[in-house]
Amino acid sequence: MRIAELVMAIVMAIFSAYLMWKSAELPIGWIPDEGPGGGFWPFWLAAAMLASCLSIIYKWVRKTSPLSRSTEIFMDSEALKGFVLVAGSLLVTVGLFHYIGIYGALPLFLIFHIRFLGGHSWPFTGFMAVITPVITFLFFEIVLKITLPKGLTDEYFYPIFALFA
């Protein structure tokens, strides 16, 4: 926990500084007779973020905040494994949206979670992996008429759309 607290504060401090620098693309000062410039609001708020981070770091050095004294481990190996698998599978799935579309990626995601992480039976996994995209398609694309990303699978849907035309 102790290390994590410091790392997070430093990362966020850098991020705040980046936000300040980015905000400064627009006037950050007070324009006479008009009020604050376009960068004023985000710049000074980012400055407050930076100040908060510095105060967290200061407390860490002085060991005055509870987390800076915590000897508890931030994530044990078991927790880390779970986190990496779940977060990783999400990122991979969104990445796949670009290529094999939502209807290709979601079944893979469901199979991974229900079968491999959840340990449910193959027939049940298969059922979920089929029924979820089908319901999604019917509800979003047919009822609500929201087009979901299909990537390279786009043209395979022409005949399916033709069924509902």
Window 91 to 130, contacts with other proteins (CB under 8 A): 91, 93-94, 97-100, 102-104, 106-111, 113-114, 117-120, 126, 128-130
Query: What gap in Å lies between CA 7 and CA 35, rounded to an integer?
Result: 37
Which of 14, 48, 73, 138 touches other proteins (CB under 8 A)?
Answer: 48
- Look up residue 17 and give its amino acid: A
Would you say 28 and 43 are in contact if contact means Cβ atoms under 8 Å apart?
yes
Which of 14, 29, 82, 122 touches other proteins (CB under 8 A)?
Answer: 82
The DSSP letter of residue 150 is -
126-165 residues near other proteins, rule: CB under 8 A: 126, 128-130, 132-134, 136, 140-141, 144-149, 152-162, 165
How many residues appear in the chain?
A: 165
Tokens of 148: 């979901």
Q: How far is the CB of 71 from other proteins (least distance, A)?
A: 15
